[in-house]
Amino acid sequence: MQAPTRFSTALKFALLLGLAWPAAARAADEATPVQPVDAIAAVVNNQVITKNELTARYDQIAAQLTQQNVPLPPKDVLEKQVLERMITERVLLQHAQETGIRVDPVMLDQAIQRVAAQNNMSVEQLKAGLAKDGMGYDRFRERLKDQMMVDQARQRDVENRITVSDAEIAGYLQTQATQGANEQYNLSQIYIAVPENATPAEIQAKQAKAEEVLQKLRAGGNFEELSASYSDAPNALKGGSLGWRDGGQFPPDFLQIIAKLPIGGYSNILRTNSGFHIFKLNDKRAQSEKLVVTQSRVQEILIKTDEATSAEDARQRLESIRDRIVHGATTFADMARQYSEDPSSAKGGDIGWVNPGDTLPDFQKVMDSLKPGELSQPFQTPIGWFLIEVTARRQKDMTAEREKLEARKAIFERKAEEAYQDWVRQLRDAAYVEIFPAH
């Protein structure tokens, strides 16, 4: 097996930008040559997943697990998990396509430029690195486009519908000190999903599966291997790692159990409406007492897309506006007052100081990439096309406001994760899926 390169790690990071699920695999993406006759592994609505695609993805996942020093599950078990991931990926991408989500070529070019910049590369260096890693630039571009489509669908259908009330924040703060929510936990998870409207027999079968996993853990089984074998979570094939989480991101009854786990220990089976969970505590730490964030002062021009204004029309209008500003024919503020469809237009597009997490993810990525005084290229978000300028940047001590900010963030992320799992489950349950025998 080829040793991992620096670019391999960077590429994996790039392919996960803003996304919980990897892009749909394509036959053209895989290293295994397509044979003249290729058997079908599964049918997903009106598309097929071939055996060659499944074999290539299996080899890819097996290599990644080996690099991470995770023992490989039995081949039939891992292959079943890989196929289920591919099915879910197809379902999510099909949903995005069927509900009208598109990625403009200019928007895709901007995303590739951000990927290159985040890896300290030029686009040409990125292309060279992709070729060295065995993935052509066209394949990388197509996969990134698929990921962006799924990401937009998630933002539209899940994240944009979540609200956090002042009452929820107050309730969170009341219980924070007594339940260890002021600590952070590095966790891994094994998650057994329960279908929506599951019958008692289906629930019992899922619970039996979770109990089987727990018994294997108690017998000395490897948590990461069992995650790859049994878990339905998006990160199952990566050992189930959740990374560092604030205590407040968990329901209070979960937190009481997690806070008492020893390092390296795992919980009993925990039940939610969406399924069964087993958590492993990898490490824990106290939250930093001081919170300093980087704030950006931003001006924006927003053009919304609808039946009368296409994405291409919006992009071209913003390009024309940008060209006039760059050549000194007008000012950003004048253009915002005249053309922006955001309430900030009355203030010349000035939206004030923006904290990390206050804006849409696509907006945040572009904002963070700009230097003070720099004008962005037009870019697309789920609510429309933007042109922005960062007018200033500063470090702000937010320690006094930290509790409410962290409470809002923790509640939002908890609700978003639960809603995302439900969304994926509902789409998967509604899809027509037929799996063909392995032999």
pLDDT of residue 236: 87
- Residue whose tokens read 């990644």: 64
pLDDT of residue 131: 84
Same domain, 277 and 321: no
Same domain, 417 and 327: no
Q: Is residue 439 part of a domain?
A: no
pLDDT of residue 121: 87
- Helix or strand or coil: residue 271? strand
How confident is the prediction along the chain (439 residues), in pLDDT tens digits per residue?
Answer: 333 333 333 343 344 333 333 333 333 344 444 444 579 999 999 999 999 999 988 998 888 888 888 888 899 999 999 999 999 999 999 999 999 888 888 888 888 988 888 888 888 999 988 888 777 888 889 989 999 999 989 989 998 889 899 898 888 777 765 655 567 899 999 999 888 888 999 999 999 999 999 999 999 999 999 999 999 988 888 888 988 887 777 777 888 899 889 999 999 999 988 899 999 999 988 766 677 889 999 999 999 988 788 889 999 999 999 999 999 999 999 999 999 999 999 999 999 999 888 888 889 989 999 999 999 999 988 889 999 999 999 998 877 677 787 788 888 888 888 899 899 999 999 999 999 987 6
Q: Is residue 172 part of a domain?
A: no
pLDDT of residue 353: 95
Same domain, 371 and 326: yes
Which CATH number goes with the domain that contains 19?
1.10.4030.10
Q: Is residue 419 part of a domain?
A: yes
End-to-end CA distance of the chain: 27
Give the whole-angstrom CA distance, residue 267 versus residue 232.
17
pLDDT of residue 291: 74
Same domain, 309 and 351: yes
Count of the separate structural domains present in the chain: 3
Same domain, 213 and 237: yes
pLDDT of residue 435: 93
Same domain, 110 and 259: no
Which of 159, 190, 213 is the C-terminal boundary of a domain? 159
Same domain, 296 and 284: no
Domain that holds residue 248: 178-288+402-430
Task: Report CA-CA distances (Å) from 11 to 31, 79, 132, 182, 314.
Answer: 16, 24, 12, 34, 31
Same domain, 257 and 361: no
Give the whole-angstrom CA distance, residue 226 versus residue 100.
38
Q: Is residue 171 part of a domain?
A: no
Same domain, 72 and 13: yes
Which CATH number goes with the domain that contains 333?
3.10.50.40
Q: Is residue 46 part of a domain?
A: yes
Q: Is residue 437 part of a domain?
A: no
Task: Report CA-CA distances (Å) from 136 to 115, 129, 392.
Answer: 15, 9, 39
Same domain, 17 and 95: yes
Same domain, 282 and 318: no
pLDDT of residue 25: 37
Q: Is residue 381 part of a domain?
A: yes
Same domain, 119 and 213: no
Q: Is residue 167 part of a domain?
A: no
